Amino acid sequence: ASPAGGLSLPGPGPGGVSFHEMWRELLPIGRSSASGGYRRYAWTGADGECRDWFRAQAEARGLAYEVDRNGNQWAWLGDPAQGDAVVTGSHLDSVPDGGAFDGPLGVVSSFAALDELRGRDARFAKPLGIVNFGDEEGARFGLACVGSRLAAGQLTVDQAHRLTDGDGITLPQAMAAAGYDPDAIGPDPERLARIGAFVELHVEQGRALDLSGDRVGIASAIWPHGRWRFDFRGEANHAGTTRLADRRDPMLSYAETVLAARREARLADAVATFGKIAVEPNGVNAIPSLVRGWLDSRAADQQTLDTVVTGIQQAAREYADAHGVDLDVVRESFTPVVEFDHALRDELARILGKDTDLKVPVLGTGAGHDAGILSGTVPTAMLFVRNPTGVSHSPAEFAAEDDCVAGVSALADVLEGLACA
């Protein structure tokens, strides 16, 4: 029934224990028994199982389910064509051996918040959506936030078609193999124009909330960040017979560059990480011909990031020259600084502070999110849930059950405050 007061949530849905049931269903999907971490890469079988789960959750609640041209999944209460929709959600894919919370906490909390609002008998004046953005982590094709970037027009179709994974499979091939139409991908301005506010809940990936003693926080900004590929090319040769003086060993210049990255980041109060490497021919008794390392670097502001990355590149060139090695550096992706919408941020603070004296902390982050990509197009905000160790992108990532429940409640308050008005 939909009384004059607005749309109500269709029942019956999984009910009050929904968070735990959803969490239990998701936990085994794509989990490596070797590491205990998750390997949910875009358009693989594990990703497909997560997507099936999303669809089942939408249908169990009588929400209208759809997949957009870029493979992002949506669940709707009310008709998004009405406009000014309130949307929440996150992603279900993972980094290599990622934790259980980065992404899924936001999606599970979204469905659970709707269930909580059903319990409150909320009536919605605006369409309400839940989204699962595809390929947020970029673990497979190297570029993060592919689904939201495509939708927002921040990644061209040509660029997307050229994305290739470590096995030489292109993004269109991977999408087609997963049953999606790669010829459909592209900007989706009309869909985004229907969204009046997007709020992504995410596990915190640092310890600010732990240190301040708060369960939930509001995001202020995302640091500018990017990924650069460093190709050091030398000469493959026999590890036993090649005199040290005759070697052109790219591993040496790579190793020195890793140290330079740490040095430059430390000097600038930024971060710089070489977390992925490919070596050719990758033989234990061969001097490498190629060492390819990927740099991820982030800083509080653009100028600092430029300084750090320029410093690392200059050092890398000097080391390459010293070892007779050729160097190519390619910037593979870049995300400028994100300042979340101030009015929406204030509105969240007002809603969450309404019945309490507590001031909800506002914090910045060095982690990228689909919310950051959307923020250029749509008024966007984020909620963070306390992470007691700050560990993320690791199987050890954790959030306490009480804090997750507090996150669901906060998200429900926010959705109610924004969509029931």
Which parts are annotated binding residues?
A: 91, 102, 137, 202, 227, 285, 298, 393
The binding track of 235-274 with respect to ligand HGY, each residue x by CB under 6 A or -, is: ----------------------------------------
Q: Judged by CB under 6 A, does residue 137 bind ligand HGY?
A: yes
d(CA 194, CA 259): 47
Angle at 14 between CA 11 and CA 18, to 5 degrees: 135
Comparing CB distances to ligand HGY, the nearer of 75 and 95 is 95
**Residue 144 interacts with ligand HGY (CB under 6 A): yes or no:** yes
Nearest Cα to Cα of residue 333 among 138, 153, 192: 138
Give residues 267-286 in contact with ligand HGY (rule: CB under 6 A).
Answer: none
Which residue number, 237 or 273, has a Cβ lying nearer to ligand HGY? 273
Amino acid identity, residue 344? Answer: L
Residues annotated within the binding site for allantoate are 227, 285, 298
Helix axes 18-26 and 45-60, enclosed angle (nearest 10): 160
Q: Which does 103 bind (CB under 5 to 8 A by kind): ligand HGY, Mn ion, none?
A: Mn ion
Annotated binding site for Zn(2+): 91, 102, 137, 202, 393
CB of 322 to ligand HGY, least distance (A): 32
Footprint on residues 76-135 left by Mn ion (CB under 5 A): 102-103
Query: Among ligand HGY, Mn ion, none, what binds residue 89 when CB lies within 5 to 8 Å by partner kind?
Result: none
Site for ligand HGY contains 368 (CB under 6 A): yes
Tokens representing residue 421 in the block:
């008005």
139 versus 315: smaller Cβ distance to Mn ion: 139
| Torsion region of 103: left, alpha or beta (phi above 0 gives left; psi -120 to 50 gives alpha) | left
20 CB neighbour count, 10 Å cutoff: 15
Dump the DSSP string for 294-348. EEEEE-SSHHHHHHHHHHHHHHHHHHHHHTT-EEEEEEEEEE--EE--HHHHHHH
Q: Which residue is nearest to ligand HGY (CB)?
A: 368
Peptide bond into 281 cis (omega under 30): yes
353: three-class secondary structure by DSSP: helix
Kindly tell me which of 13 and 372 has the beta carbon lying closer to Mn ion: 372
Contacts of 152 (CB under 8 A, 6+ apart): 187, 192, 373, 374, 376, 377
d(CA 261, CA 298): 12
- Distance in angstroms (rounded) separating the CA atoms of residues 75 and 10: 13
Stretch that binds ligand HGY, among 62-70, 137-145, 309-317, 320-328 (CB under 6 A): 137-145
| Residue closer to ligand HGY, measured from CB, 145 or 360 | 145
- Give the amino acid at 154: Q
Q: Note whether 403 binds Mn ion by CB under 5 A.
A: no
User: Which window, 50-58, 136-144, 169-177, 383-391, contacts ligand HGY (CB under 6 A)?
Assistant: 136-144
- Nearest distance from residue 363's CB to ligand HGY, in Å? 15
Residue 206 partner contact from Mn ion, ligand HGY, none using kind-dependent CB cut-offs of 5 to 8 Å:
none
Q: Binding of ligand HGY at residue 182 (CB under 6 A)?
A: no
Peptide bond before residue 12 is cis, with ω within 30 degrees of 0: yes
CB-nearer residue toward Mn ion: 78 or 103: 103
DSSP state letters, 378-406? S-EEEEEE--SS---SSTT----HHHHHH
Q: Decide: helix, strand or coil at residue 159.
A: helix
Nearer to ligand HGY, 51 or 225 (CB): 225
Residue placing its CB nearer to Mn ion in the complex, 132 or 257 = 132
d(CA 196, CA 210): 32
In the list Mn ion, ligand HGY, none, the entry touching 144 (Cβ below 5 to 8 angstroms by class) is ligand HGY
420 binds, among Mn ion, ligand HGY, none (CB under 5 to 8 A by kind): none
Residues that bind Mn ion (CB under 5 A): 102-103
Residues that bind ligand HGY (CB under 6 A): 136-137, 144-145, 367-368
